[in-house]
Structure 1
Amino acid sequence: MKSLTITVLETSDVHGNIFPINYGNNEAVGLGLAKIATVIKEERRKNRNTIVVDNGDLIQGTPFTYHYVRSNRHKPNPMITLLNDLNYDAAVIGNHEFNYGMEVLQQAIYESNFPWLSANILDEDGEPFIGKPYTIIELEDGIKAAILGVTTHYIPNWENPEHIKGLTFDDAFESTKKWVEKIHNQENPDVMIVSYHGGFEANLETGEPTEKQTGENQGYRIVKEIEGIDLLLTGHQHRSLSGKINGVPIVQPSFNGQAIGKVSFTLTKNNGRWAISDSKPELILVDELETDESSLQLVYDYESDAQDWLDQPIGQVKGNMTIDDPLKARLKDNALVEFINKVQLDVAKVSISATAFFNNVTKGFPSNITMRDIVSNYIYPNTLKVIRICGKDLKEALERSASYFMVENGEVIVNPSFTTPKPQHYNYDMWEGIDYIFDISKPIGKRVVELTFKGEPIQPDGQYDVVMNNYRAGGGGEYIMFKDKPIIKDIPLDMSELIANYILERGTIEATVDENWKVIW
């Protein structure tokens, strides 16, 4: 009886990280594709039957990729250059692949030496818009591995409509079920791999729901209800997962290139047919690994250009616009968030604005501001929208934000629903143009105790034009009260560019706090 080992490696949610540095301060960090490259090369050296898949959210996420799109588009995409060099076998479309627009995505696909997959994102003819729902990898001794790509169908809730014009996002679960059956019937593979840019909606052990069942994440249902899957590669949630569900190995390799998923299959040939006799899922953390210098050299010119751009002086701050404690900064009005709202109000020419701190490493602006300071504080390529909402919507949105906090033994903590399984600090908004107070000692849903606009109470049926980022305006972050509201104005420029332009026009900006909101308990 003959046996053979197959290795499957997965990257996911790399988000433009190649170099092992923090672009906010250029300090070394243990992440990035150049460290992952060390693993890939070693695994390929050990086993020629190695398959490497990227599971999406590859081409967006750092100043490195942002500067490429702004200034170096005449060159090949550096992320694709590296994946080509590492001989990736396939890549799956992630939701952030659309952030820079369809032209950038299509260029990346065109330059790739490997197929991009997504069975459930369809063009106007009802066909997969990149042409390939799956690919077949031929291995030693005639072994066939099928890789099916699927993508969370929740993308229209976040993405700029212009970036996904003409596309239909079919239900990921239903598409997976249909294509797995079709692939088995047509290709008869020895190994069926589903690479799903989505995560898990339920506890992996109990099956209990862990989030609202919106369809954004369907991994648990996919692996429990669809027959014929030998491996489920996942992502999107930025979790570190390896294990088995329903006997099927699953992996999810964190984010920003901090880890790579590895699944080892043992196949045994019996009566002329290969069958999986064993499987082992695991994560390989890259923190302590050597960086692959040849990978860095491939894209060094891009990095050098980006670093020069990041250190360009933009302007100065009069006063203090730094953040020492992110929790305290979310409990009381502060100069940084007031400034970002001020930029949004100036651009949109409306009276009400909402924004957020996206994470807990935001440091604010020092007295002398560079592009590095802007992109390290405003990390997403958001655009702005002005939507028209009623007073009832506004109050519901504030109640959603107020649920961010909990009080335990007199101390304020962050509600675990905003931290587990994935940190979602970006889903707590702070507003300008209205005056409000949260009393977080009260039950969730009844915490907005004061709410006025221009000195008058907000009217439930009153109409208010509000500027916010495109993610929130589409209902992202469970702000469903904003979904499908009339769009009064669409501002297509990237928010970091708008901030830079605002500062450049003025030279000096002032740190102000009008204390229009506060949190009590």
Structure 2
Amino acid sequence: MQKKQLQLIITSDVHGYIMPTTFRKADEAIGLTKAACIIENLRKVKPSILIDNGDMLQGSPLTYYHQQFHPEQPNPVINVANVLNYDLAVLGNHEFNYGLSFLKKSIEESTFTWLGGNIYKEDGTSFTTPYVIKELEGVRIGIVGVTTHFVPIWEDPEHLDGIEFKDAFEHAKKWLEHLRHNEKVDITILCYHGGFSHDISTGKLIEPDTGENQGYQMCKHLDFDMFITGHQHREVCTKAFGKSIVQPGTKGACVATISLDLEMENGKVISINHEPSLHYVDENTPIHQPIANRIQNFHLLTEKWLDEPIGRVEGNLLFEDAFHVRVHKHPYLQFIQRVQMDATDTQISCTSLFHDGPGGFPKLVTMRHIVTNYIYPNTLKVVKVSGKHIVQALEQNATYFSIEDDQLTVSHSFRYPKAQPYNYDMWEGIEYVMDIRRPIGERITKVSYQGNPLDLTSTYDVVMNNYRATGAGNFPYFADCPVIKDIQIDMTELIANYFRRYPIVQATCQQNWVVRM
């Protein structure tokens, strides 16, 4: 009998964060240059396979700057991933944000394989490889990769032209069965760029079971050994249904491993013991200098671009407390609404505050302030919405709040399984009142438009981001609303263009909505 020790090393949802900074401040406990030191040390312990589980290519100011201004240059994130010698990556939903030509170029530059087992071309062939087999120390390891099939719901159709997403669960099952029956593998691993709609240990539903996150069903019903997940930006390290399960957070702040202790006889695996772990980056984790050197020039170009001033504010567009802004409104939110309405020539707008930290714009505004406040690559759509659906949307927004110990707070459903501040919208162009003391579904006590009660049977042109216009965030009726305008310009660029047209912006705030308790 022969014993062998192997391991899987996993990152996920890195979102283009390479250096240890969110570009708000330096030396934060994030980024692939820090995670690389953990990866390098882990590799010294035992033979390893390095996997990224999706959403690698988009999400940071650096990736935005590359795509917008220097797409002809090699992808800096791929550059780093190649140096790190990744063995494979799974396509995440955000890999498609910059369009297929950008994605195909990035795949061509990669020295590793990209998996997309449920993504197909029009002719029925796979868009990328559905699975790979890695042989490590004589052990055949089959790895299947699938992506949440909700991508077409969120993504601009032009970015998916000629490809089709099929059910992730069904195609994970298909390729796992293929591995078992045709490839003579010793170990099977499922990599899923998706998460969990149910609690892994109890099976209790923890978010709407829409089909976006099929992780629990996969774990319970499919035959494989290890489960790598992502998408939800959670940190998961557990076992269920005899499988080790990991999800390593986001931005390179955490690296997951699954260690494998194998017993072999006559060249075949006769037993497998496996254990999941999470390894965290912190302030003491050093930077991997060779990798930092590879990215340094492009990082400095990004930093320089971010600090170019483009406008001035008279008044205050800064805020410290995001929750306070969601309760009381703030000039920053009114400014974002103004940009949206100006770009689309509409009278009604809705938008979110995307994060829970301090933010807004100082007196002198630079590109850094824009991209670090508006953190998603959203575009705008104008949709024709009925008065009835506007009230439904306001009622959904009112579920963001709950009352605990006589204090207004964020409801559990917006905090777990991950924080969802981006799914609470504030509206401009209408007047409304939320009373959180009332039952859910009955919290909107007043809605008016131009001084008159909102007509539930009439329709109104509303500008919102493309994510919300798909119905995402529990607003399914928006997906069926006619699209009147589709502005194919990134919102950060629209904000910058607004400052270029109006170099001096007045900070104003009209209280058109009230939250009561």
TM-score, normalised to structure 2, is 0.98
Q: Deviations over 1:258-299 (max 9, x none)?
A: 101100101111244113421110001011321101111001
Equivalent position of 1:180 in the other structure:
176
Equivalent position of 1:380 in the other structure:
376
1:156 maps to 2:155: no
How many angstroms apart in 1 are the aligned matches of 2:120 and 2:388?
A: 36
1:260 maps to 2:255: yes
Equivalent position of 1:238 in the other structure:
233
Map 1:80-95; keep pairs closer than 5 Å: 80-95=78-93
Task: Indicate if the aligned counterparts of 1:60 and 1:99 stay in contact, CA closer than 8 A.
Answer: yes
Q: Deviations over 1:468-520 (max 9, x none)?
A: 00000001111112113211110010000000110111111011111111111
Name stretches of at least 5 consecutive residues in structure 2 with no aligned partner. Answer: none
How many angstroms apart in 1 are the aligned matches of 2:425 and 2:104?
A: 34
1:481 maps to 2:477: yes
Of 41, 51, 57, which aligns to 1:59?
57
Q: Secondary structure at the match of 1:127?
A: coil
How many angstroms apart in 1 are the aligned matches of 2:270 and 2:473?
A: 43
Equivalent position of 1:334 in the other structure:
330
Q: Secondary structure at the match of 1:46?
A: coil
Of 385, 406, 410, which aligns to 1:414?
410
Q: 1:36 Cα deviation (Å)?
A: 1.2
Q: Secondary structure at the match of 1:493?
A: coil
Report the AA paired with residue 58 of structure 2.
Answer: Q
Equivalent position of 2:167 in the other structure:
171
1:134 maps to 2:164: no
Task: Indicate if the aligned counterparts of 1:153 and 1:172 stay in contact, CA closer than 8 A.
Answer: yes
Equivalent position of 1:39 in the other structure:
38
Task: Indicate if the aligned counterparts of 1:67 and 1:306 stay in contact, CA closer than 8 A.
Answer: yes
How many angstroms apart in 2 are the aligned matches of 1:347 and 1:450?
A: 28
Task: Indicate if the aligned counterparts of 1:475 and 1:481 stay in contact, CA closer than 8 A.
Answer: yes
RMSD: 1.0
Q: Deviations over 1:226-247 (max 9, x none)?
A: 12x1111000011111111111
Q: Secondary structure at the match of 1:265?
A: strand
Q: Deviations over 1:448-486 (max 9, x none)?
A: 111011112111221111110000000111111211321
Q: Secondary structure at the match of 2:247?
A: strand
How many angstroms apart in 1 are the aligned matches of 2:34 and 2:249?
A: 14
> Residues 362 and 376 (structure 1 numbering): CA distance in 2 closer, same or farther, change over 3 Å?
farther
How many angstroms apart in 2 are the aligned matches of 1:33 and 1:332?
A: 38
Q: 1:401 Cα deviation (Å)?
A: 0.5
> Residues 486 and 232 (structure 1 numbering): CA distance in 2 closer, same or farther, change over 3 Å?
same
1:10 maps to 2:10: yes
How many angstroms apart in 2 are the aligned matches of 1:321 and 1:94?
A: 34
How many angstroms apart in 1 are the aligned matches of 2:109 and 2:15?
A: 18
Map 1:20-419; keep pairs closer than 5 Å: 20-24=20-24, 26-47=25-46, 49-130=47-128, 132-141=129-138, 143-227=139-223, 229-287=224-282, 288-419=284-415
Q: 1:157 Cα deviation (Å)?
A: 1.8
Q: Secondary structure at the match of 1:364?
A: strand
Q: Secondary structure at the match of 2:419?
A: coil
How many angstroms apart in 1 are the aligned matches of 2:228 and 2:58?
A: 20
How many angstroms apart in 2 are the aligned matches of 1:295 and 1:270?
A: 41
How many angstroms apart in 2 are the aligned matches of 1:169 and 1:309?
A: 36
Task: Indicate if the aligned counterparts of 1:362 and 1:377 stay in contact, CA closer than 8 A.
Answer: no
How many angstroms apart in 1 are the aligned matches of 2:427 and 2:69?
A: 33
Task: Indicate if the aligned counterparts of 2:321 and 2:357 stay in contact, CA closer than 8 A.
Answer: no
Q: 1:364 Cα deviation (Å)?
A: 0.6
Q: 1:74 Cα deviation (Å)?
A: 1.6
Equivalent position of 2:461 in the other structure:
465
Task: Indicate if the aligned counterparts of 2:194 and 2:214 stay in contact, CA closer than 8 A.
Answer: yes
Task: Indicate if the aligned counterparts of 1:396 and 1:481 stay in contact, CA closer than 8 A.
Answer: no
How many angstroms apart in 2 are the aligned matches of 1:510 and 1:249?
A: 55
User: In percent, how many aligned pairs have the same letter?
Assistant: 44
How many angstroms apart in 2 are the aligned matches of 1:222 and 1:419?
A: 24
Of 422, 425, 447, which aligns to 2:421?
425
Report the AA paired with residue 163 of structure 2.
Answer: L
Q: Deviations over 1:319-370 (max 9, x none)?
A: 0111121111101221011100100000011111000000111411111111
Report the AA paired with residue 110 of structure 1.
Answer: E
Task: Indicate if the aligned counterparts of 2:207 and 2:417 stay in contact, CA closer than 8 A.
Answer: no
Report the AA paired with residue 234 of structure 1.
Answer: T
Task: Indicate if the aligned counterparts of 1:57 and 1:93 stay in contact, CA closer than 8 A.
Answer: yes
Task: Indicate if the aligned counterparts of 1:150 and 1:176 stay in contact, CA closer than 8 A.
Answer: yes
Q: Deviations over 1:368-396 (max 9, x none)?
A: 11111111110011000111111111111
Report the AA paired with residue 16 of structure 2.
Answer: G
Q: 1:199 Cα deviation (Å)?
A: 0.6
Q: Secondary structure at the match of 1:105?
A: helix
How many angstroms apart in 2 are the aligned matches of 1:127 and 1:391?
A: 44
